[in-house]
Amino acid sequence: MYVRLLLSTQRSGSHFIKSYIESRFPSVICSGEVLEEPIAFARQAPALSTHKDFPKFWLWYEIEAAARSISVAPDRRIEAFEDYLIKASALVKPRDLLIDVKYNSIRSLSGYLDTECGSLDFTSFIISRQIPVLHLIRKNTLRIIISNTLAQKTGIWHRNKERSADEPLPKIRFQPKVVLNDIRYLQKVTKDYQNCFSGYTGYEEIVYEDVVLEQAQPQTGSNLRTLAHFLDKKPAAPSPDSIPFKKTTPEDPSEVVENWDEVCRLLRGTEHGWMVETPLLAAA
């Protein structure tokens, strides 16, 4: 088995990154979010139109368990996930496979349904199996919160074309203290995973905002070199139409956040005040 993981939180720009990877590294195929909370075993569309419609882990788990091919003991779930990775990677041979996993879905796999820290048993499994991990970090976690709330309101999680000028956007309202707590929680969990993988030679980090900014300054190429090192491949020439995903939220959050000024006032009094400023907020 040779498979890699893309680790991130929700609404972190993973669809953009996967599309970027597939456009520059055609011998790599990226999966959708294969781990979901085990509450609904429904097939979902793949993240990208270019890759196969992978069976989600929990759907596969249900079928295998019914056939008595795997143990359903909670402490054997990670072993089952290893079997799943072996079979999923076989679907795309001879190309390499990059599996998309999210912080919150890892909890359901490892048994940590509600935790304030990274999953130690999951990270130990990854390190022991020498599975490379690309950790996608989004510095502006306020943008994550706005994007997630807006997506829940509209039902539009990803766009492949720009929003038209006459398309209405719903209004959302935040409790500023809740937003601050959510920002701190996301940053804490991100740091916990960084600590868990500290010293692991198969671990790489990439920052979403840096990748977006590099699109306007392609001569730097530092993120592309990071990806090439992680994937152990040379990048292909870019295609101008290869990345279909567009921003789901407006550059000016006040268009959708009714009490944006209130949110700004609270955050500017904290270490996270930079998150409300432009162009830093609009950069991604």
Q: Domain locations in the chain?
A: 3-276
Residue 272 is classified by DSSP as T
> Between 164 and 63, where is the model more confident?
63
How far apart CA 118 and CA 268 sit, in angstroms, is: 28
**Cβ contacts of 67 within 8 Å, gap of 6 or more:** none
Taking residues 268-284, report their average pLDDT.
81
> Which range is least confidently modeled, 51-60, 144-153, 188-197?
51-60
Tokens read off for 195: 């600590």
The answer to whether 281 and 253 are in contact (CB under 8 A) is yes
Look at domain 3-276 and name its CATH class: alpha beta
Looking at the chain, the whole-number percentage of residues with pLDDT higher than 70 is: 83
CA atoms within 13 A on the CB side of 16: 25
Taking residues 179-203, report their average pLDDT.
94
Strand blocks (E) in the chain: 3-8, 28-33, 96-102, 133-137, 203-207
Amino acid identity at 93? K
Cα three-residue angle 144-145-146, rounded to 5 degrees: 95
| φ, ψ (nearest 5 deg) of residue 172 | -125, 155
Rg (C-alpha) for the chain, rounded Å, is 19
Neighbours of 186 (CB within 10 A): 20
pLDDT value at 114 more than 50: no
- Per residue in 44-72, pLDDT tens? 444 444 444 567 888 888 888 889 998 88
Query: Please, what is the end-to-end C-alpha distance for the chain in angstroms?
Result: 35
Residue 106 is classified by DSSP as H
How far apart CA 46 and CA 22 sit, in angstroms, is: 14
Amino acid identity at 55? P
